[in-house]
Amino acid sequence: MFQQAWAYLLYLFGLLVDAISVCEHAGKLTPNDLNRQQFPSQYFGDWYFIAAAASEVSPSLEQFTGIDNTLFNINEETQPDRLLLRAAIRTKTGSCVPRKWIFLVSEHSLDLGTEGRPDRKTELFSSKCTSCIILQETDPQVQRLFLYSRTPQMNQTHIDDFRKKAVCAGFHEFLLLPQAQEYCDLQATHTSK
pTM for this entry: 0.80
Q: CB-based contacts of 132: which residues, under 8 Å, 6+ apart?
A: 50, 147, 148, 149, 150, 154, 158, 162
Cα–Cα nearest to 108, from 36, 27, 33, 28: 36
Q: Is residue 13 predicted with pLDDT exceeding 60?
A: no
Cα–Cα nearest to 87, from 102, 66, 104, 77: 102
Q: What is the pLDDT of residues 118-158, one digit of tens each?
A: 999 988 887 788 899 899 998 888 889 999 999 999 999 99
By mean pLDDT, which of 46-60, 73-87, 90-104, 149-163 is the weakest?
Answer: 46-60
Q: Is residue 112 predicted with pLDDT exceeding 80?
A: yes
What's the DSSP call for residue 55? S
CA distance 73 to 187: 10
pLDDT, average across residues 76-105 = 93
Cα–Cα nearest to 120, from 99, 138, 100: 138
CA distance 91 to 179: 10
